[in-house]
């Protein structure tokens, strides 16, 4: 892989994969997925996976040039940030400051109020994801709307320093962030489920890069 050009100074990645038995959503009971979504359950990430994934990530992102890591308060994001910091320290001899950033938290919702299912029924993850995205677009009272998340992204990007930074966050929030970047930060109030579905699904330790003027959008 080619390293992303250093002029793309802002990198967003999803946190690392959760440790067993929580890393495969398709094999989880619905109640576990719901508790992960609302943070009632917060397991550690898979150490072996994250170490290998960061090595691959360094082939794409110039980690030697990163000055700050901004991480969601969630345990899985904080642990991901710590492993990235340790990798950079060991490989490049540099210390990166990690900042906990509440504005990068996942979109808040209670899945049980958005999707009716029990642990005895086979999961349809695509259908569940669509239900969540529809609720985000429709301003369902049981979830943070896309409009509010969009404003949260705006607030975060206005406060960060103009240097190379790595942002560790969550998939649903990053989907709204993708729309924000492609819209070049212009105000936006109305969203559709199709618009949200047409964003990229952010896999573990994957995401996108941009410059600080939002002229570029590159998948990682």
Q: What integer pLDDT is reported at residue 32 of this predicted model?
A: 85
Looking up residue 58, the CATH number of its domain turns out to be: 3.40.50
Q: Give domain status of residue 7, yes or no.
A: no
Going residue by residue through the chain, which has 220 residues, state the pLDDT in tens, using 9 for 90 and above: 456 665 668 999 999 998 877 767 777 888 888 888 888 888 899 999 999 999 999 999 999 999 999 999 999 999 999 999 999 999 999 999 999 999 999 998 888 888 888 887 888 888 989 999 999 999 999 899 999 999 999 999 998 877 899 999 999 999 999 999 999 999 999 999 999 999 999 999 999 999 888 988 999 9
Q: Give domain status of residue 128, yes or no.
A: yes
Q: Give domain status of residue 213, yes or no.
A: yes
User: From CA 181, how far away is CA 108, in angstroms rounded?
Assistant: 21
Q: Give domain status of residue 1, yes or no.
A: no
DSSP H stretches of helix in the chain:
30-37, 47-57, 75-92, 111-114, 125-138, 146-159, 171-182, 193-197
Q: What integer pLDDT is reported at residue 33 of this predicted model?
A: 86
Q: What integer pLDDT is reported at residue 204 of this predicted model?
A: 93
User: From CA 161, how far away is CA 157, in angstroms rounded?
Assistant: 9
Cβ distance 32 to 41 under 8 Å?
yes
User: From CA 150, how far away is CA 129, in angstroms rounded?
Assistant: 19
207-210 vs 97-100, strand pairing mode: unpaired
Q: Give domain status of residue 4, yes or no.
A: no
Q: Give domain status of residue 9, yes or no.
A: no
Q: Give domain status of residue 48, yes or no.
A: yes
User: From CA 194, how far away is CA 217, in angstroms rounded?
Assistant: 20
How many domains are contained in the chain?
Answer: 1
User: From CA 85, how far away is CA 98, in angstroms rounded?
Assistant: 8
97-100 vs 218-219, strand pairing mode: unpaired
Domain that holds residue 127: 18-219
Q: Give domain status of residue 2, yes or no.
A: no
Give the C-alpha distances (Å, rounded to integers) separating 128 from 115, 132, 163, 190.
7, 6, 37, 22
């Amino acid at each position: 892989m080619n390293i992303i050009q250093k002029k793309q100074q802002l990198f967003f990645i999803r946190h690392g994969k959760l440790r067993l038995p929580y890393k495969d959503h398709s094999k989880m009971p619905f109640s576990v997925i719901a508790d992960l979504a609302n943070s009632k359950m917060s397991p550690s990430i898979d150490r072996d996976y994250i170490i290998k994934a960061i090595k691959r990530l360094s082939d794409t992102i110039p980690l030697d040039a990163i000055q700050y890591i901004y991480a969601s308060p969630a345990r899985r994001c904080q642990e991901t940030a710590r492993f990235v910091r340790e990798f950079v320290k060991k490989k490049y001899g540099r210390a990166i400051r990690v900042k906990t950033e509440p504005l990068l938290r996942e979109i808040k919702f209670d899945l049980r109020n958005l999707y009716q299912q029990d642990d005895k029924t086979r999961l349809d993850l695509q259908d569940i994801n669509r239900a969540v995205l529809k609720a985000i677009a429709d301003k369902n009272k049981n979830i943070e709307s896309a409009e509010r998340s969009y404003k949260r992204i705006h607030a975060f990007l206005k406060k960060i320093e103009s240097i190379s930074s790595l942002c560790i966050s969550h998939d649903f929030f990053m989907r709204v962030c993708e729309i924000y970047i492609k819209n070049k930060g212009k105000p936006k109030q109305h969203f559709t489920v199709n618009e949200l579905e047409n964003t990229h699904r952010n896999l573990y330790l994957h995401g996108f890069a941009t410059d600080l003027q939002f002229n570029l959008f590159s998948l990682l």
